[in-house]
Amino acid sequence: MGSQLSKNKKMATGKNKRNAPYDICDRFCERCGYQKKCRMFHGAGADIKLVIKGGKQNNVKDIFHDLEEGFKQIKTMIRNIVDKKTVDTGKKQFGGREYNKRQKNAELIVEQHPLFRQAQKFVREADGFLRKFFRVANAVNPFLLPALEKEFNDFSFYFPLLSIKIHNALFCVNDHVNHYSEEGTREANRAACIAIRASLVCEKAVGAIMAETKEIYAESLQIITVIRDIRAEIKRIFPDAEKFQDEIIFNTKI
C-alpha cells in the first residue's frame, strides 16, 4: 500500500489532476510535511491554524479569544471540504442533471444514516463539552488551558473532522457512480480509516483532560463512551478500513 500512497500523493500534488489531498489526508495543514508539494495548500492556503499557539499567551482572555477563532476556522474548513469535494468530484467532472440527481439521493441516504446522525450528535456534545471545560478551567485553574495545549488542539480539530470523514465514507458507498468502482470503495475505506484515527486522537485528548479536571469527570467519561461507540460502528460498517492506514496522510501521532 506504500506504493498506493505514493500514487495518491502524486495525484494530489501534480498539475491538472482531479484528486485533491482531502481524499487521503486529515487536512491538518500546519502539521503536514507535504506543504511544499501540495497544490491545494498553495492554492488556497492552510485550512487551519493551531488553536492555541504555544505558551505565548499569559492572559486567559487572549487564550479564550484564540479558541473561539479556532472554532470558527474549523467550521469554515469543514464547509470548504464539502464544497470543494462537490465541485471537484461532481459537477466539474461529470456534470449533467441525472448525475446531480443521483448525488442528491446519495446525500439524503447519508443524512438519514444512523452513524452519521450519531456523529452529528457527537459534534454538538463535544462542542458543549469543550465550552464547559473552558468555563471550569477559567474558574478553577487558568493555567490548565496552556498546560493542555496539545490536547486542546487535537480534540478541537479532530472532533468535527470525525463527522465529515464519516460523511465522506458513507457517501462513497451510497453514490451510484462510485459504488461499483474499485476506487470508490478505496476512497470510502480511506475516509473511514481517517475517521477511526481521528476518534483515537479525540479519546486520548479527552482522557488527558479528564485526568486533570475532576470537576467534569462524568462529562469526560460520557464523551469517551460515545467516541468508542462511534468507532465500533465505523469498524462494523467498514471492516477493511484499518488496512488502508498506509494510503492516508494523518498528521498527529496516536
Tens-binned pLDDT, residue by residue, of the chain (254 aa): 445 555 555 554 444 443 445 568 887 877 887 777 776 666 554 444 444 444 444 455 666 666 666 666 666 655 555 554 443 443 344 445 555 666 777 788 888 999 999 999 999 999 899 888 888 888 888 788 788 888 988 998 899 889 989 998 998 887 755 555 777 888 899 999 999 999 999 999 999 999 998 899 999 999 999 999 999 999 999 999 999 998 898 989 88
CA dist 29 and 241 (Å) reads 23
Domain count of the fold of the chain: 1
pLDDT of amino acid 174: 79
If you ran DSSP here, which 8-state letter would residue 30 be given? Answer: G
Measured CA to CA in angstroms, residue 215 lies from 133, 137, 193, 250 at distances of 9, 9, 33, 32
Cell of 157: 480539530
Q: What is the pTM of this model?
A: 0.77
Angle, helices 217-237 vs 114-140, to 10°: value is 160
In a domain, 26, yes or no: no
Q: How far is CA 91 from CA 35, 77, 102, 219, in A?
A: 27, 21, 12, 43
Domain-embedded: residue 38: no
Does 1 reside within a domain? no
Q: Is 120 a domain residue?
A: yes
pLDDT at site 113? 93
Alpha-carbon gap, residue 156 to 244, rounded angstroms:
25
Any domain includes 17: no
User: Residue 113 falls within a domain, yes or no?
Assistant: yes
Question: Is residue 4, in this structure, part of any structural domain at all?
Answer: no
pLDDT score, position 52: 45
Domain that holds residue 217: 46-247
In a domain, 210, yes or no: yes
Q: How far apart are CA 241 and CA 56, in angstroms?
A: 39
